[in-house]
Chains A and B, each alone.
Chain A
């Protein structure tokens, strides 16, 4: 067992590529959309990344954290990430401006099987910053609109300032066969959409499980109750319901051991799962 050889071209899997921030835009309270372009090559790695995959961003000197990629390669070589200021790495990333250098490592993890979704009605449910990895799903459907059935987006946040990608809502609404429903827990004076939890909104919209797929990302508690409602009250089967899960992770390649839920590693077995798979997990996701 110890007579193995290591090929000389084996790469340092923990070393990032260098990226330059080409775009820094406030898209919500403490939420920025960061656009990253590679400076010394690296585009090849990211030529065909898929909706649902993630990457690590480095703020050198502070550290590295994983983010769902919030863009699609068809829109150009700039990778986009929606970054909410919460921990040390995101706090540092929020101090950077256009032209500053970050590290990028990825793409990592599995993805939403968009080809399998063709011809189906899609219900996309995003909660807060959890909407970030769902934007590529919406972009893919809108770019290939005729390949998919109806698209219903349920988009939620604690308050209006935490709703992400507001600039795009009109283009989502205007697309054929597409509906966008917004809700917040706490409205402000100008708010003229729904008020309440995303489950209240879901209950009212009551999508049909017929030929449908749901895709949910948000806080664990939201994922739990949304999927409970879909299955117990609306007749969806767990295998129709996709989720993408968040976990603390440091390597992203199945080595550091941090992101396990039972015998699954979110980084390499996920982050995308069907609720049928989640139902077999030994540990609870919420």
Chain B
């Protein structure tokens, strides 16, 4: 662990931004998101959690999977596999930890998703410890903490006017090897050790199946507007749609692209087949599916739970559906 000043950090980020895509928290109007910057001066300091996570840097809201060009009786399919190197700075622990759930699905479960995997391979995540818990944050209920460095390659902890910089992975070491950073004498003592809290509010897996037929789901689902904002702001919700778009082309023939874009199981037609059958017609069925996916299906299929306690869904929900209340209900339900 080394100590760096704010100006050393800025110089280092400016070096990186000249050669790689640098993504960092930027405040725009009343919201803060991670987006590409060309200079460290664009980065918003402070410790508020950005309103959107970093999922989009690996699974963009819309991306082209390949293009198809037709003409003169022949068709050509061109891959569109991303190759850009990107560095994502200022990543909050809930967002870096969310990558572990996405990795478990897209990389560690065969077959590998090449678009996600390439971006992941070509990215370095520079985490930043939160100094406080936000109003909606509940990472400490799920065994994490504001100083959890899981999923980060490098990890910064604010200390006085500078930062402690911790090297977590080989990728982090490699980035420091490529772009030298000026180290300083620490003006302050080392930051406290990383803390992990107990899984205080996470129900055991076996709590879930007996509650599947609980009337609770219909009651909570009654409020749901099926607007899907909870899934879009979620660092781990990853369901996607695949569609074709027709592109303009000057040449004879036609050009199309196959895109994938974010989708969510809360949408009414999400599971409806062409013949009309829909296994989850009721809103309560769909809300239950999302909660079971996060805390029961996903951990069984891929390992980690699909929730990092970022609280964005709680904050964004227009009808105050609160995942912490759902977890509390499951914990307290007597079977």
Contacts and interface: CB of A to CB of B under 8 A. Distances in A.
Interface of A: 1-6, 10-16, 18, 58, 60-65, 86-87, 90, 101, 103, 219-220, 246-248, 250-251, 253-263, 265, 282-285
3 A-B pairs closest in CB distance: A87-B274, A257-B239, A86-B274
B293 to A, nearest CB: 7
A65 B241 CA distance: 12
A255 B106 contact: yes
B282 to A, nearest CB: 12
Nearest to A85: B274
Contacts of A259: 271
Interface stretch (B74-82, B159-167, B187-195, B320-328): B74-82
Given A247-B279, A258-B239, A282-B292, A263 B75 contact: no
B75 A14 contact: no
Contact of B297 (A12, A62, A260): A260
B103 A247 contact: no
B65 A12 contact: yes
A261 B254 contact: no
Given A2-B151, A3-B171, A12-B81, A250 B241 contact: yes
Q: Which of the listed residues B79, B81, B246, B275 has the most CB atoms from chain A within 10 Å of its own CB?
A: B275
B interface, over-half SS: mixed
11 contacts: A1-B103, A2-B151, A12-B115, A13-B114, A14-B260, A60-B244, A86-B275, A103-B77, A257-B238, A257-B293, A258-B265
B279 A283 contact: yes
Contacts of B118: 6
B272 A14 contact: no
Contacts of B151: 1-2
Nearest to A63: B244
Contact of B169 (A3, A64, A256, A282): A3
B52 interface: no
Contact of B242 (A60, A63, A254): A63
Interface residues of B, number: 64
Interface of B: 65-66, 68, 70, 75, 77, 79, 81, 99-100, 103, 105-107, 109, 111-115, 117-118, 120-121, 125, 150-151, 153, 169-171, 209, 212, 238-244, 246, 254, 256, 258, 260, 263, 265, 270-275, 277, 279-280, 285, 289, 292-293, 296-297, 300-301
Contact of B113 (A3, A16, A64, A255): A255
Contacts of A101: 70, 75
Nearest to B107: A4
A260 B114 contact: no
A109 B114 CA distance: 20
A151 to B, nearest CB: 27
Contact of B117 (A10, A16, A248): A10
A157 to B, nearest CB: 13
A104 to B, nearest CB: 12
A203 to B, nearest CB: 24
A3 B263 CA distance: 29
A14 B258 contact: yes
Contacts of B66: 12, 14-15
B256 A2 contact: no
A257 B284 CA distance: 18
Given A2-B153, A3-B170, A285-B279, A60 B75 contact: yes
A61 B208 CA distance: 42
